[in-house]
Amino acid sequence: MPSIFRANALAGAAMMSLLAATAAGAVPTGKPEPWQMDFQPAVTPVMENIEDFHRLLLYIITAISLFVLALLLWIMVRYNRRANPTPSRTAHNTTLEVMWTIVPVIILVIIAIPSFKLLYYEADMPKPDLTIKAIGKQWFWSYEYPKTNFTFDSLGLSEGDAMKRHEPRLLGVDNVIVVPINKVVEVVTTGADVIHSWAVPAFGVKMDAVPGRLNTTWFKATQLGTFYGQCSELCGARHAFMPIEVKVVNQGDFATWLAGAKKKFAAIQTDTRVAALTK
């Protein structure tokens, strides 16, 4: 084998093993990595299901692409001018036309079934253990823990502060959301000015935060760690500077944090008119 081909084969093999390592559940870092090619590793059941669905689609599109490539190569070799000097004048083939209509329909149905299953799974929230309200503002997030009655603002760190705190650039925040592991966390989103979107890739969560509306999503983190996300709806000049940071801790640490947060952060000021309406 010429050395250039051998080098290519080696590079190919290395790439395949890298992809396999990523697919086979790499250690979650909760943030995007340089040269990352796949999703961030899943840490919630919803994201695991999204990954499964993505893998199914990947197999299907790879098979279709290879099939089309094989057809193209076959036609180029078998039916070029030299190999086939007198071409056939056939214009229709009913069987073939019925087949190339029916087969894609069957493929779409095969995709639709798990797709709807996943949509229902995401939409059907289990009974929440904890509720957090995320309010998108130009350009930061405010969070409320309604059951424990406190609220705080969460601002993206400047580059200097991020470096000092060993936080990733454009992802670290000053006040982190803390949640317990293996608990269903309900996230209620809304916008204070324009539409924002609360998204954390490792959780498989992305929900628009619309002024005048309350949208609901949920996650159940099954691993400890810090997970990052970003506003995912173009909301103005500093859209790129309103990151999301969620720390998943065990129940004991959560209780300690909650006790401290109640003292540190302000009580939620319920608008008396809203309170009267919702009584």
- Write out the residues near Cu ion by the rule CB under 5 A: 196, 231, 235, 239
Nearer to Cu ion, 162 or 231 (CB): 231
User: Minimum distance between the CB of residue 57 and Cu ion, rounded to whole angstroms?
Assistant: 28
Please state the closest distance from residue 31 (CB atom) to Cu ion, in A: 18
CB of 169 vs Cu ion, minimal distance in Å: 17
Which CB atom, from 47 or from 235, has the smaller least distance to Cu ion? 235
Least Cβ distance, residue 209 to Cu ion (angstroms) = 9
Pairing of strands 215-219, 243-249: unpaired
Q: In terms of CB distance, is 239 or 247 closer to Cu ion?
A: 239
Task: Report the residue number, 231 or 246, with the smaller CB distance to Cu ion.
Answer: 231
